Structure 1
Amino acid sequence: MGVVTPASAPETTPGTTPGRPLGTTATTRAEPTDGTRAETSTDPHATPAPRLIATDLDGTLLRDDKTVSQRTIDALAAAEAAGIEVFFVTGRPARWMGVVAGHLAGHGLAILANGAAVWDLRADELVESFPLPEADALAVAQALRAAVPGTAFAVERTHAFRREPEYQAFEPDGDLPPAPLEELLRADRTQPLLKLLAKHPAQDPDAFLATALSVAGRYGEITRSAESAMLEISGAGVSKATTLAKCCAERGVTAAEVVAFGDMPNDLAMLRWAGTSYAVANAHPHLLAAATHRTASNQDDGVAQVIEHLVAGRRTR
């Protein structure tokens, strides 16, 4: 099976905390008291039979060309056939989910916008949202404008993306032309505000994140998933981990029964929450340090490799 090794001791990104279910207090996994960390088996068959797989998409499940390999499609279907539910947990908005919508197997729900929305992919409709208050979005913007001049912003709602003129977007503008953030926030108010996006043309991505956490971390959950200096801001306490934990609790699934996969800082809380976590070989150093296991890269179908072994192990139990 590719590369599957235990991770080293976790490294904490400044200002971040492990995810927790909304409305609850944080809990931590028991660690040895002598300063060492318990060894994690490299054999997926030693992992308790999972009930749910939670996987990021870009850089993790998807290949670099944003496609889903046939091996991955087959592995997802095999997991569902074995009774393991699959959740896509991504920073993507609903309009970018077409790449996996045709490969749902038995599942249909996805966690989008870094935990700000639960989406029914079959019905193509919002199930639940955890919005970012507009006042907090403005507070983040004001703090970043002062700390990092040249930062530009965009807003992501359930069905609308709006940007400032200086924010370089990957897609065409909708019916509202670029405008200052304050004006953008006044538009589309019937839709929940899922994320504020902040972009800088010259900042180092990790340094930009560290600065944002230090000056604006109290106003929202700040993370990143792009290779460029682009930050994603959700409501305070809203992350992939918190919404995944809520969805699992509704199904009677515990953290110990979840296997999670990721590659970038916006996956950190989810990987720390899950009982078993895998960082793909191409993951950010913080993910490689925090995950309990490592697997092959997204280009080498690392997620599919692990799922194949998990399914095979389930059959032998």
Structure 2
Amino acid sequence: MREDGSVTSATERPEPHTPVRTRSASAPVSAPASAPASASAPRDVRLVATDLDGTLLHDDKSVSERTIAALAAAEAAGVEVFFVTGRPARWMDVVSSHVQGHGLAICANGAAVVDLHRGGEIVDVRPLEREDAIAVVDALRIAAPGASFAVERTVGIHYEPQYPPFHLDPGAVVASVEKLLAVDAADAGHPVIKLLVHHPELGPDEFLALARAAAGGHGSFTRSSPTALLEISGLGVSKASTLARCCAERGIAPEEVVAFGDMPNDLEMLSWAGTSYAMANAHPEVLAATSHRTTANNDDGVARVIEQLLEQRATTG
């Protein structure tokens, strides 16, 4: 997911305020350890995990007819599909009608599990604790002067005046991040699922390395934007760790998972899955970390691989 202008605005609607299950971000993952990508795509694949922006979606944020058909065919063949994205729940309208029977998607880089069959209701949260968020802010104020912050909670986003207006949220509070994280802040009773920080001058990868060195002990740092916009989750929270939980609950091993991605926030998931594919348009780190390639997002690379997997299953009985 890209939190900058490369993502179109989704319909803004109030998030459900029903209670959600909240887990400690540092709770251990119960799924098996990561497995290297296999030499060829497995015939016994049970789950497809795919990023959205730059991966499943075309650049205009549409889902092609070919991809819709491939997702439906996977479900009919008994292969589960999980959308695993950095997007918040409120930006999932673009794929809500294409989720499988389970209805679940992993959002905010693993910090939230969302039920798209229930209007995007958040059913599981792995929060960034307030004390860790404050420690990250304090460290980056010193290490990266000029940085500006936004706070993503389960009910919406709030941001600093200097934070770039990627997507104006009519319900957002605009204030210093210190006030946004205060115990009496707006929506303070709702978990923080992600802290975002933007720098107007540093390069994206340079900023990521700097931030990890300065505050990596207080959160999981990644990025999915072409700009210097970082996303910070709770320690141990990633697309991979939450996907591992979901797979463990279903008795699915990493070797039975095929994953797709294009940006650094996909790296852990691509390393964990038994078989992983980098999109042709992927970030160099993603291309270097994966042994499989598929065509670009605009050329339906995910759909092409799903079609091949299903064809293999059919021919081998």
**TM-score, structure 2 length as denominator?**
0.87
Give 1:23's match in structure 2, choosing from 16, 21, 28.
Answer: 28
SS of the residue corresponding to residue 145 of structure 2 reads coil
Amino acid at match of 2:103: G
Partner of 1:14: none
1:286 partner amino acid: E
Per the TM alignment, residue 188 of structure 1 is displaced from its structure 2 partner at its CA by 0.6
Q: How has the CA–CA distance of structure 1 residues 176 and 89 changed in structure 2, closer, same or farther, with 3 Å as cutoff?
A: closer
Mapping for residues 285-296 of structure 1, pairs under 5 Å: 285-296=284-295
After superposition, the C-alpha distances for 1:89-139 in whole angstroms (9 at most, x for unaligned) are 000001100000122243410000000000000102111100000111111
SS of structure 2 residue aligned to 1:53: strand
Does structure 1 residue 99 correspond to structure 2 residue 98?
no
| Residues 190/76 of structure 1: CA separation in 2 closer, same or farther (3 Å cut) | same
Deviation at 1:221, TM superposition (A): 0.3
* 1:305 to 1:24, Cα distance in 2 relative to 1, 3 A: closer
SS of 2:117's equivalent in the other structure is coil
CA distance in 2, matches of 1:21, 1:175: 30
Q: 1:197-238, CA deviations, whole angstroms, 9 ceiling, x for partnerless residues?
A: 000112100000010111111100000000000000000000
Matched, 1:112 2:107: yes
Corresponding residue number in structure 2 for 1:266: 265
Secondary structure, in 3 states, of the residue corresponding to 1:99? Answer: coil
Q: Percent identity?
A: 60
1:6 aligned partner: none
Unaligned runs of 5+ in 2: 1-24
| Count of aligned pairs | 287
TM-score normalised by structure 1 residue count: 0.87
Deviation at 1:28, TM superposition (A): 5.1
Residue matched to 1:169: 165
Match of 1:149 in 2: 145
Q: CA deviation at 1:315?
A: 1.1
**CA deviations over 1:30-72 (Å, ceiling 9, x no partner):** 7xxxxxxxx953x53xx24210000000000001111111111
Q: Kindly report structure 1 stretches of 4+ aligned residues shifted beyond 4 Å.
A: none
Unaligned runs of 5+ in 1: 1-19, 31-38
Aligned to 2:123: 127
8 Å contact from structure 1 (residues 115, 241) kept in 2: yes
Q: Deviations over 1:294-315 (max 9, x none)?
A: 1100011100000000111111
Letter in 2 for 1:71: R
Q: Is the 8 A contact 1:75 1:308 kept in 2?
A: yes
Alignment partner of 1:56 out of 39, 51, 70 = 51
User: Could you tell me whether the CA contact under 8 Å between 1:155 and 1:162 is conserved in 2?
Assistant: yes
Shift of 1:22: 4.1
Question: Which secondary structure does the structure 2 equivalent of 1:122 belong to?
Answer: helix
Counterparts of 1:1-317 in structure 2, within 5 Å, are: 22-24=27-29, 27=33, 29=35, 41=39, 43-44=40-41, 47-124=42-119, 125-185=121-181, 186-317=185-316
Which one-letter code corresponds to 1:109 in the other structure? L
Alpha-carbon RMSD across the aligned residues, in angstroms, is 1.8
Instruction: Look up the SS of the partner of 2:196 in the other structure.
Output: strand
Q: Distance in 1 between matches of 2:94 and 2:302?
A: 17
